[in-house]
C-alpha cells in the first residue's frame, strides 16, 4: 500500500448498516501519474538514456536484462566479501540495487521509483476483489482487533458503528487484549532475541542495557501478597499502563522518545569533544551509546535467502490486508503487483485510490490503514506457534537437517520482521500508516503536528550514533 496518503480532508460518519459498500470498478484512476514521475528522480537521465538506446526486440532486451542481473549479483557478492562495516555494506548494496533497478526500468519500460521495480498484474486485482467479498466479515474483525492491539482503549474512537455494538465490542476488545498480552509477554521478547542473534547481537544487547540503566523510573514497587514481597519495576508498570491505554503504538512511541532523550547529552558531548580536538585541545573522548535503530538488509546483516523470504512474506501479507479492506469498503485499487529492489524480491504492493480513501468515512479508512500491521502481528504469532511446535518435535524426536534448519531460520525471521514492521508502521511518522491513524485519534491539529515533529526528531536521533562509529 502506498503509505504517503497525506492528511484526510473529509470526514464522514456512517449510520449502522452493512460493513461493505458496493464495489467499484478496479480500473486505474484517470489522469493518475505513474510512480516514476517524481520531481526528485535523480536517476531519470540515466534511465532515459538506456531506454532511448534499448533494442526494440524483446528477446534482445531480455538477454541484456539477464546480463545486468548477473553483473549486479557479482557486484553485490563482491561487496559482501569486503571488510567494510555493516552500515557501509548496507549503503553500498542499496546504491547497487538502486542503479540496477533504474537501469532495468529504463531497459524494459517498467514502472517504479528509486530502484524499486513495480510489476503490475491485472489478474491480481480480480483475485483480491474475489477474496475480499468472500471473507469480508473476517477481514473486518481482523482490522478492528488490530486497532485495539495497536491503540488499546484509545482505539475505541477508530471503531465503526458495527463494532461498537455491545456484543461485537466485547469480542473485539477481548481478542485484542488477549493478543496484546501474548504479544507483549511472549512474541516481542522472542522477536528481540531472534534479531539480536541474526544481526550479531552486540549493538542490540548494548542498546537494551543502556535503555534499562537510563530509564527515568528506577526502582521497584513492592507488592505484598500473603506475607510475600514481590518487587515490580516501576518502568514495567508505566509500560503496562501505556500498553493498556494506548496499545503497541503508544508503547513504541514512548520507547522511541526515551531512548532518543538518553542520547542527546552523549551526542552533544561527542560533538563538543570533536570540536575541541580540532582546535588542538586535549580532551577525553566522549562515549556515544549504541544506536537505537539499525537498517536491515538480506545479505548484509540478515541471512540472504531466508531474509528475502521473510521480507517478501511480511510485505505481501501487509499489502494484501490493506487491499482486502479497501475493496470491502468499495475503495478502488489503482494498481497491484510484485516489487523488486534491483535483483532482490521485495514483496508486493497495492495502491488504493487516494481520493476515494480520503472521502471514505473515518472508521473505514482506519480499518484499511490498520489492517496491514494487524496481519503482520497475526502472522508473527502463527509463525511463532509453528516454530515452537517444530522445536518441541525436534526435542522429542531429533529431526536435524539442512531443510529443517532452513525452515526454522525462515520462520524465526518471519516472526521478528513481522513484529518489527507491524509495530514500527504504527509510529506517527509521515509515510507510515500510524501517522494517519494518529491524526484520526488526535483531532487537534496543533497537537497532531507536535506529535509528528517529536516522532521525526526522536527517530532521527536514534540513528545519529551511526555517524560516530
pLDDT tens column, 42-71:
778 888 888 888 888 888 989 999 999 999
pLDDT value of position 377: 92
Please state the separation of Cα 54 from the chain's center in Å.
36
Q: Is residue 102 part of a domain?
A: yes
> Average pLDDT for residues 3-12, to the nearest whole number?
41
CA distances from 373 to 153, 248, 318, 458 (A): 17, 11, 7, 21
The domain of 81 spans: 43-111
pLDDT value of position 36: 41
> Average pLDDT for residues 89-99, to the nearest whole number?
87
* Residue 23 or residue 452, greater confidence: 452
> Average pLDDT for residues 362-368, to the nearest whole number?
88
Predicted TM-score (pTM) of this structure: 0.78
pLDDT value of position 201: 53
Instruction: State the pLDDT confidence band at 40, using cuts at 50, 70 and 90.
Output: low
Q: Would you say residue 104 has pLDDT above 80?
A: yes
pLDDT value of position 9: 39
> Average pLDDT for residues 198-216, to the nearest whole number?
71
Q: Is residue 297 part of a domain?
A: no
* Mean of per-residue pLDDT scores for the chain: 82
Q: Spell out a b/e string for 10-35, using b for 16 or more CB atoms within 10 Å of the CB, else e.
A: eeeebeeeebbeeeeebebeeeeeeb
Instruction: State the pLDDT confidence band at 16, using cuts at 50, 70 and 90.
Output: very low
- 3 state SS for the chain: CCCCCCCCCCCCCCCCCCCCCCCCCCCCCCCCCCCCCCCCCCCHHHHHHHHHHCCCCHHHHHHHHHHHHHHHHHHHHHHHHCCCCHHHHHHHHHHHHHHHHHHHHHHHCCEEECCEEEEECHHHHHHHHHHHHHCHHHHHHHHHHHHHHHHHHHHHHHCCCCCCCHHHHHHHHHHHHHHHHHHHHHHHHHHHHHHHHHCCCHHHHHHHHHHHHHCCCCCEEEEEECCEEEEEEHHHHHHHHHHHHHHHHHHHHHHHHHHHHHHHHHHHHHHHHHHHHHCCCCCCCCCCCCCCCCCCCECCCECHHHHHHHHHHHHHHHHHHHHHHHHHCCCCEEEEEEEEECCEEEEEEEEECHHHHHHCCHHHHHHHHHHHHHHHHHHHHHHHHHHHHHHHHHHHCCCCCHHHHHHHHHHHHHHHHHHHHHHHCCCCCCCCHHHHHHHHHCCCHHHHHHHHHHHHHHHHHHHHHHHHC
Q: Would you say residue 389 has pLDDT above 70?
A: yes
* Residue 77 or residue 225, greater confidence: 77
Q: Is residue 50 part of a domain?
A: yes
> Average pLDDT for residues 16-45, to the nearest whole number?
48
> Average pLDDT for residues 141-162, to the nearest whole number?
91
pLDDT value of position 333: 82
Q: Is residue 48 part of a domain?
A: yes
pLDDT value of position 21: 44
Q: Would you say residue 386 has pLDDT above 50?
A: yes
CA distances from 159 to 155, 362, 364 (A): 7, 9, 9
Q: Is residue 190 part of a domain?
A: no
Q: Is residue 34 part of a domain?
A: no
CA distances from 382 to 183, 309, 346, 378 (A): 11, 16, 22, 6
Lowest-confidence range among 50-64, 175-189, 206-220, 440-454? Answer: 206-220
Total structural domains within the chain: 1
Q: Is residue 198 part of a domain?
A: no
pLDDT value of position 57: 87
CB–CB of 128/323 below 8 Å?
Answer: yes
Share of the chain above pLDDT 90, in %: 27
Q: Would you say residue 118 has pLDDT above 90?
A: no
Give the number of residues written for the chain: 469
Q: Is residue 67 part of a domain?
A: yes
Amino acid at each position: 500500500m502506498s503509505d504517503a496518503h497525506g492528511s484526510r480532508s473529509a470526514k464522514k460518519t456512517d449510520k449502522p448498516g452493512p460493513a461493505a459498500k458496493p464495489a467499484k470498478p478496479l480500473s486505474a484512476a484517470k489522469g493518475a501519474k505513474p510512480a516514476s514521475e517524481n520531481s526528485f528522480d535523480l536517476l531519470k537521465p540515466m534511465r532515459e538514456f538506456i531506454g532511448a538506446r534499448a533494442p526494440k526486440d524483446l528477446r534482445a532486451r531480455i538477454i541484456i536484462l539477464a546480463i545486468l542481473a548477473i553483473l549486479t549479483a557479482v557486484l553485490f557478492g563482491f561487496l559482501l566479501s569486503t571488510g567494510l562495516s555493516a552500515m557501509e555494506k548496507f549503503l553500498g548494496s542499496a546504491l547497487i540495487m538502486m542503479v540496477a533497478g533504474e537501469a532495468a526500468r529504463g531497459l524494459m519500460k517498467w514502472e517504479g521509483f528509486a530502484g524499486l521495480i513495480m510489476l503490475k498484474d491485472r489478474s491480481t486485482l480480480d483475485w483480491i476483489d474475489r477474496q475480499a467479498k468472500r471473507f469480508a466479515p473476517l477481514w473486518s474483525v481482523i482490522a478492528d482487533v488490530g486497532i485495539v492491539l495497536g491503540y488499546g482503549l484509545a482505539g475505541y474512537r477508530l471503531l465503526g458503528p458495527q463494532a461498537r455494538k455491545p456484543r461485537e465490542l466485547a469480542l473485539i476488545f477481548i481478542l485484542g487484549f488477549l493478543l496484546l498480552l501474548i504479544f507483549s509477554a511472549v512474541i516481542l521478547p522472542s522477536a528481540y532475541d531472534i534479531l539480536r542473534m541474526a544481526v550479531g547481537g552486540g549493538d542490540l544487547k548494548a542498546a537494551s542495557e543502556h535503555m534499562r540503566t537510563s530509564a527515568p523510573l528506577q526502582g521497584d514497587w513492592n507488592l505484598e501478597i500473603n506475607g510475600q514481597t514481590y518487587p515490580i519495576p516501576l518502568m514495567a508498570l508505566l509500560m503496562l499502563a501505556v500498553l493498556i491505554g494506548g496499545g503497541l503504538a503508544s508503547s513504541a512511541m514512548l520507547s522511541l522518545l526515551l531512548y532518543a532523550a538518553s542520547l542527546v547529552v552523549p551526542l552533544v558531548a561527542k560533538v563538543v569533544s570533536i570540536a575541541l580536538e580540532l582546535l588542538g585541545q586535549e580532551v577525553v573522548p566522549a562515549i556515544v551509546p549504541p544506536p537505537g535503530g539499525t537498517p536491515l538488509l538480506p545479505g548484509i546483516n540478515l541471512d540472504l535467502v531466508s531474509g528475502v523470504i521473510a521480507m517478501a512474506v511480511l510485505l505481501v501479507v501487509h499489502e494484501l490486508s490493506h487491499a482486502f479492506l479497501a475493496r470491502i469498503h468499495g475503495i478502488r485499487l489503482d494498481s497491484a503487483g510484485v516489487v523488486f529492489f534491483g535483483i532482490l524480491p521485495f514483496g508486493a504492493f497495492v495502491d488504493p485510490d487516494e481520493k476515494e480513501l480520503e472521502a471514505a468515512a473515518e472508521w473505514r479508512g482506519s480499518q484499511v490503514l490498520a489492517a496491514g500491521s494487524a496481519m503482520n502481528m497475526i502472522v508473527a504469532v502463527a509463525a511463532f506457534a509453528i516454530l515452537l511446535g517444530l522445536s518441541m518435535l525436534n526435542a522429542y524426536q531429533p529431526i536435524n537437517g539442512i531443510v529443517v534448519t532452513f525452515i526454522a531460520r525462515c520462520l524465526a525471521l518471519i516472526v521478528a520482521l513481522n513484529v518489527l514492521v507491524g509495530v514500527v508502521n504504527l509510529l506517527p511518522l509521515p509515510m507510515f500508516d500510524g501517522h494517519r491513524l494518529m491524526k484520526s485519534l488526535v483531532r487537534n491539529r496543533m497537537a497532531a503536528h507536535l506529535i509528528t515533529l517529536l516522532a521525526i526528531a526522536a527517530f532521527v536521533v536514534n540513528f545519529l550514533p551511526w555517524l560516530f562509529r
